[in-house]
Structure formats: C-alpha cells, structure tokens
Amino acid sequence: MTGTHHGNRYGRSEEARQAVLHAADDLLVERGFAGVTIEGVAARAGVAKQTIYRWWSSKVDILLDTLIDDMAKELTPRDHGDVSRDLRAHLHKVALFLTRADAGAVFRALVGHAQHDPAMAARLRADYLSQQRARDRIPLERAVERGELSSETDIEVALDELLGPVHYRVLVTGEPVPRKFTDHLVDQFLVRYGTGRG
C-alpha cells in the first residue's frame, strides 16, 4: 500500500533514525525551536509519527540525540603540551561550538528548554553536560600534572570562571565571543593561578 517498508523484528530502522535526526536538526535551524514539531519532523523525515514516538519521548529527546554525537566530536580538547595553548584552544572551540548555527543552536535550544522543565534539566545535566564537563577538565588536570597549575587549584571553580563568561555572553547578553575575549579569560586565569612555570 505505501511503498517500501523496512520492518524488522530484530532492531529498528537506522534509516528512519537518521532521517528523523536530520529532519529535527534542519527544522530547528530553519524555523527555530517552536518550528520543530513531531508532526513536522515526521513529515520531513518521511516517517510515521508512531515511529518517532516508539523511540523518542518528545522533540527534546530527539534534539538530545542530535546533540550527543556532535558535542563529543567537536569539544574533545587536544593536547598542545602547554596549559595556555590548551586552554586558549579549548575555550575557543567551545565558543565556536556555542555560536555556530547548527550544533550550537541545538545546545542553546536545549539549555533554554531546560529552564522550563526541571526534569529535562536534570537529565540534560546527568547525561550530557556532565560528560562535557569531564572533557573540559582535561586541560586543567593535565596542567596540574605538568606542574603548571598548583595541585590545590579548585578545578570546579576554575571551570566556572573560564566557561561562565563564555556561556553568559551566548545565553544572556548575546554579545559575540571573539578569540580575543577567550584568550583574555585564559590569560587572566593563569595570572592568578599559574605557578609561573607554564
């Protein structure tokens, strides 16, 4: 009746999964968060609504799925052998990620939605942000190992000082986040905490 189907007892259709994720992503970028509807995603993906509801609980759930890959892929810090270069590079990557159209848009939309939905906020933090937080720690932990930072540095607070201003600009003031700004944050941070050996 309907053309080609891909039912399969042992496992879902990867084709349908990809179509849904891409459709949701596209709609978010094109029409914004309110423009992402289950009905719209289904239509655009060429998929039945029921198929979406079978695997995702809400449009937020879909967007989380689109986010997780990107974040790990784009935001894993590399080792440049030097705390300053590590931090400058990582903070810049974070800024680029947050302000870029596609993946950053998903992140902003989800953090925005989290303000309206405590349960989803808890899940976002437990499943996604904590992973990112772990990646963010890496440059600082390496710096402590290298002796570039005191071993008594409060890394949690340090992360807030470095990442806080970047997210604040993105989420609240809407100011751009140029490289100069992130570099400045790193420099100020090292002035205070660095051992002078870095």
Q: How far apart are CA 165 and CA 183, in angstroms?
A: 12
Using rule CB under 8 A, residue 38 touches a copy of itself: no
**Does 167 engage in binding with a copy of itself (CB under 8 A)?**
yes
> How many Å apart are CA 56 and CA 62, to the nearest integer?
6
Which residue's CB is nearer to a copy of itself, number 80 or number 108? 108
Q: What is the CB neighbour count within 10 angstroms for residue 194?
A: 17
> Segment contacting a copy of itself (CB under 8 A): 15-23, 54-62, 74-82, 109-117?
109-117
30 in contact with DNA (CB under 7 A)? no
How many Cβ atoms sit within 10 Å of the Cβ of residue 150?
Answer: 12
Asked if 133 is part of the footprint of a copy of itself (rule: CB under 8 A), the reply reads: yes
Which range of residues in 46-54, 75-83, 145-153, 160-168 is near DNA by CB under 7 A?
A: 46-54
CA distance 24 to 36: 6
Of 40-48, 93-101, 163-171, 177-185, which part binds DNA (CB under 7 A)? 40-48
Per the listing, tokens 């409060």 go with 154
Q: What whole-number distance in Å separates Cα of residue 106 and Cα of residue 32? A: 9
Using the rule CB under 7 A, which residue among 50, 73, 119, 174 binds DNA? 50
Q: How far is the CB of 81 from a copy of itself (least distance, A)?
A: 26
Distances in whole angstroms, Cα of residue 182 to Cα of each of 25, 80, 123, 160, 198: 28, 17, 29, 13, 18
Write the CA distances from 100 to 77, 106, 127, 175, integer angstroms. 18, 10, 22, 13
1 binds, among a copy of itself, DNA, none (CB under 5 to 8 A by kind): DNA
Stretch that binds a copy of itself, among 12-20, 66-74, 85-93, 182-190 (CB under 8 A): 182-190
CA separation for the pair 66, 106 (Å, rounded): 8
Q: Which of 22, 26, 38, 85 binds DNA (CB under 7 A)?
A: 38
CA distance 90 to 72: 13
Of 51 and 195, which CB lies nearer to DNA in the complex structure?
51
Q: Which residues bind DNA (CB under 7 A)?
A: 1-13, 16-17, 19, 37-40, 46-51, 53-55, 58-59
